[in-house]
Amino acid sequence: MKRLNLIAGAAVLAAPFSLQAELDVEKEDLKFGFIKLTDCAPIVMAKELGYFEEEGLYVELEAQANWKVLLDRVISGELDGAHMLAGQPIAATIGFGTEAHIITPYSLDLNGNGITVSNELWETMQAADPVLDSPQPPHPISADSLKDFALERRQAGEPLRMGMVFPVSTHNYELRYWLAASEISPGFYFDPETGTIDRTGQLNADVLLSVTPPPQMPATLASKTIDGYCVGEPWNQQAILRGIGVPVTTNYDIWKNNPEKVFGMTKGWADAHPNTAIAVTKALIRAGKWLDASPENRLEAVKILSRSEYVGADEEVLRNSMTGTFMFQKTDVREMPDFNVFFRYHASYPFYSDAIWFLTQMSRWGQISEPKPDAWYFDVAKKVYRPDIYRKAATLLIEEGYLTEAEVPETDGFKEPTGDFIDGIVYDGRKPNGYIEKFDVGLKPQSSVAATN
């Protein structure tokens, strides 16, 4: 009799509680890694806003000690996916550093990095270029004022030292780009004349670059081990607010709207869990959109990111960059609405041309030592960047009403050529070798001639 009642009840219940169309995910309990940087925000918010749960995914987030540990743990399967430097999946796939086929269906953000120099170095730059000695010097600040001093120090046998976060990180390429644009050699990984390979990338360097994990940058600068660094937020704002150093430029000035971090997973994992990969991408797209939807959302995100299990820095420090302002000096706080872009300008779509830019820089600095034809660049980009997964996720989101068609770019994967760089050199992703030829400082694809200097 009881059972009869139950079944009658069920009939009434069945209709209103049918679940929203959920993908049949292969793995429900996931663990993602991240590094304590504000641009892990889409992953954190997808969890905190319940977007992962709505896809039937139960996600645990775990801060990782550094990029190497993070990548190794993704490859070993301890992590299902992670917040990665855009260069990481590419480098891993072509076998520079740890070799593994890593793919990315989602680009986490644009911009978001800065270059900070020590207070002493800033004073030297100001002395070399009096224009900088102002409460609000004109931007962009190039490395021109640094050149003479850097060369002087090199000749004295005590070259300047600067930190970046990983050999294949955006920061490494941006710091190199900034220095090289002022004809300062940041060093090479390969010397075609002698065939020497240098894993530290310091061959023929005017300024020695070395790896320091992002959260330790301010402490390393304060202890005078390095004279400056290029890192993501909040570690530039931390430096100025704590009086350790001065942020001189951001990567927005070095290359407007440059791709920064991606969400990476191994190809093996994505092949074994195709629906899960799409579901994860769906949740990330929604979180990215939420982050760019309003200033209030950003403030809420700042509050959550400041928790000790996420980025953990003080709210005041995080708020600066996340809400579109950036403090260069205590007297120089600027509006930078595009400092952190998570979704606008199709920021989350994995463009092939973004991957190719990183490959061109790897060639430029000798991380890729052999000349490669243009087709090779396209092949690698297609192996690593997976807009197909993004499109499947986006199509489902459009059906569910979370996304509009206009928010998904109509593209063959290549952005239009752009000259939005600090040195004005035009980048066309369709002509990678032609692009590398344009740089004065850097290895040339066809020639065996070493870099200038």
Partner 1 sequence: MNNLRKLFAFLKAIRLGFLVPVIQLCRGEDPKLQMRLIAQQIVLPLAAIILGLLLWQSLASKINTNLGTFPGPTETWQAYESLQEEARVEALKEKHFNHKQLSRMVRRGGVDSEVGIWLVEDEGVAPEVVTWLAENRPPTRFNEADYAAFLEPVAGEPEPVSEARDMDYVNGLYLAAGKAFKGSETVKVRDYGGKPTYGEQIRKSLWTVFTGFVIASLVAIPIGILCGLNKSIYSALNPFIQVGKPVSPLAWLPLVTLVVVALYEPTEEGLEISFIVSALVVALCSLWPTLVNTAVGVANTDPDHLNVARVLKLSWFSRLFKIILPGSLPLMFTGLRISLGVGWMVLIAAEMLAQNPGLGKFVWDMFQNGSSETLSLIVVACLTIGLIGFFLDTIMGALQTLVSFEEKHSS
- Which parts of this chain interact with partner 1 (CB under 8 A)? 2, 5-7, 9-10, 12-14, 16-17, 19, 28-29, 36, 48-50, 53-54, 58-60, 62-65, 69, 72-73, 76-78, 213, 215-216, 218-219, 222, 235, 238, 242-244, 306, 308-309, 311-314, 317
The nearer residue to partner 1, 238 or 361, going by C-beta atoms, is 238
**Tokens representing 158?**
């005590």
Minimum Å gap between C-beta 426 and partner 1 is: 39
Minimum Å gap between C-beta 427 and partner 1 is: 34
The nearer residue to partner 1, 49 or 341, going by C-beta atoms, is 49
The nearer residue to partner 1, 293 or 449, going by C-beta atoms, is 293
Minimum Å gap between C-beta 398 and partner 1 is: 21
Sign of CA dihedral 367, 368, 371, 373: negative
Minimum Å gap between C-beta 211 and partner 1 is: 15
Minimum Å gap between C-beta 210 and partner 1 is: 19
The nearer residue to partner 1, 220 or 418, going by C-beta atoms, is 220
Question: What SS3 string covers the chain?
Answer: CHHHHHHHHHHHHHCCCCCCCCCCCCCCEEEEEECCCHHHHHHHHHHHCCHHHHCCCEEEEEECCCHHHHHHHHHCCCCCEEEEECHHHHHHHHCCCCCCCEEEEEECCEECEEEEEEHHHHHHHHHHCHHHCCCCCCCCCCCHHHHHHHHHHHHCCCCEEEEECCCCCHHHHHHHHHHHHCCCCCCECEECCCCEECCCCCECCCEEEEECCHHHHHHHHHCCCCCEEEEECCHHHHHHHCCCEEEEEEHHHHECCCECEEEEEEHHHHHHCHHHHHHHHHHHHHHHHHHHHCHHHHHHHHHHHCCCCCCCCCHHHHHHHHCCEEEEECCEEEECCCCEECCHHHCCCCCHHHHHHHHHHHHHCCCCCCCCCHHHHHHHHHHHECHHHHHHHHHHHHHHCCCCHHHCCCCCCCCCCECCECCCCCECCCCHHHHHHCCCCCCCCCCCCCCCC
Minimum Å gap between C-beta 395 and partner 1 is: 23
The nearer residue to partner 1, 208 or 302, going by C-beta atoms, is 302
The nearer residue to partner 1, 242 or 330, going by C-beta atoms, is 242
Minimum Å gap between C-beta 124 and partner 1 is: 21
**Tokens representing 193?**
């004349």
The nearer residue to partner 1, 58 or 400, going by C-beta atoms, is 58
The nearer residue to partner 1, 239 or 422, going by C-beta atoms, is 239
Minimum Å gap between C-beta 128 and partner 1 is: 27
Minimum Å gap between C-beta 237 and partner 1 is: 11
